[in-house]
Amino acid sequence: MSSVSSDSSGFDSGVVACPALFIAAPSSGQGKTTVTAAMARLFQRQGYRVRVFKTGPDYLDPQILEQASGQPVVPLDLWMAGDAFCRQALYDAAKTADLILIEGAMGLFDGEPSSADLAIRFGVPVALLMDVKGMAQTAAAIAVGLANYRQELQVAGLIANGCGTARHAQLIREALPAALPLLATLGRDEAVALPERHLGLVQPSEAKDDMERRLETGADWLQASGLTQLPPPVNFAPVPEGERAQQSALEARTENALQGMTIAVAKDAAFTFIYQANLDLLTHFGARVVFFSPLSDSTVPAADALWLPGGYPELHVEALSGNDTMRASLQAFYESGKVILAECGGFMYCLEALVDLQGQTFPMAGLLPGEAVMRPRGGCQGMQTAPLPEGDVRGHAHHRSVSRNTPEPFAFGRRQRHPAPGESLFHQRGLTASYLHLFFPSNPVAMARLWNPGFEADAAQRADK
């Protein structure tokens, strides 16, 4: 890696070189997380410090990638997080990492912005991943088409997933042009494939030993196929000077916005959908973050505000419903008027009841009228902006339930590319609730206002003194 210099403002101004690879596929279901995690484990166990990023909004894949690499995983999304956030996250990682891996989302060119847009923006070469079961030379033809669809895209080669035999791999290798080599193969092995459920992959915390076996087996496959060397280095630069000046002004405006506050965050098997970037922003503002379990704790810890993030409350509905002391504690916290943010699974928990797939109804915390009803199929997903009174905050929806008999929402989410109203947004007392998962760094000022409505007045008073 190159040295890093600083300008007179104290910001890093140098470029850092770090080996990097972007794993993308022609569609979902090709095995991107499996291969990215296996690659991370392969180089991690060789002593390299591997940093992995996930394209787009996602909570489940990053948990697996974090277990594989032993390092935190950050979402990169040019719309939700913004160019400056993504650029700085990659730059900071490059300063300490030996390898950066980025897992794509959906198909390589799907979405606006797409995985290809992200790879092109930061000059990261793409490893095309394809499930080649049922084809040989055709896999090469598809790979060539993808590699040449956009001239700006750098493609390092092809990774063949589900490759049945050495002869199968040879047929694909011989059909590929010299500029598009076969980088690695993974066989058809159920011991490598990652288990799934509704909304995505199974959380590794539910079967950590099994996940370890899968990661190690996948790494063995890649190593046996000849993937032993790091990819070439990529130059990563910090945000431009003008944007750095804006960042300085923003930080000065929100400095100590949550100083002295304690924010309690629900975190257990039912509530796991938490972006580390959101927690980092809270602590950057000066807040003390404490975690608690609505499943096993009896009361909410002493706190000034409460965050109920998303997760899988439907998988733990009996335990949540049966924890009467916790539900009473939440109701008392709500009655006090303190700030509560409830997102998706947390929103479901705030309602009066949750109806499972068998039609059974379970009492929930009852902070808001209404109930959440699980659906066997279908659902809602997509990028949206939450027009909060404190300011617009970007985020996304991804759920398999619907809410009914709820109060009149104060607003609806704005979809990224569709005029139809998005998710309902509710506000009662200090509670803000919705199916939306918010990405706090998309509008730090708005999030500071939400958590501490008086922070700007407090800052003005300090300035007067």
Residue 8 has pLDDT above 60, yes or no: no
DSSP of 342-387, one letter per residue?
A: EETHHHHHHSSEEE-TTS-EEE---SSSSEEEE-SS--EEEEEEEE
Exposed/middle/buried for residue 41 (C-beta within 10 Å: 0-12, 13-18, 19+): buried
Residue among 25, 27, 19, 37 nearest 221 (CA):
37
| Strand ordering across the sheet containing 353-355 | 361-363, 353-355, 371-374, 401-404
Please give the Cα distance from 79 to 39 (Å, whole number). 27
Cα→Cα distances 263→55, 302, 340, 390, Å? 28, 9, 9, 18
- All domains in the chain, ordered by first residue: 16-236 (3.40.50.300), 255-464 (3.40.50.880)
Residue 344 annotated as catalytic: yes
Instruction: Report pLDDT digits (tens) over 379-402.
Output: 677 899 999 999 999 999 998 899
**Predicted pLDDT at 310:** 97
pLDDT for position 464? 52
Whole-angstrom distance, CA of residue 25 vs CA of residue 361:
41
pTM (predicted TM-score): 0.90
Tens of pLDDT along 217-272?
999 989 999 898 999 999 999 988 777 667 777 777 788 999 999 999 999 999 99
Please state, in angstroms and rounded to a whole number, the distance separating the CA atoms of residues 427 and 434: 9
Dist. CA 21–CA 12, nearest whole Å: 23
d(CA 217, CA 211): 10
* Higher local confidence (pLDDT), 138 or 12: 138
The one catalytic residue in 18, 86, 344, 350 is 344
pLDDT digits (tens, 9 = 90+) for 412-449: 999 998 889 999 999 999 999 999 999 999 999 999 99
Residues with Cβ within 8 Å of 282's Cβ and at least 6 positions away in sequence, in order, are 258, 263, 289, 440, 451
Q: Which of 364, 334, 343, 335 is nearest to 352 (CA)?
A: 364
> Token pair of 265, please?
């965050």
Cα–Cα distance for residue pair 3/18, rounded to 1 Å:
11
Whose CA is closest to 384, among 420, 413, 352?
Answer: 413
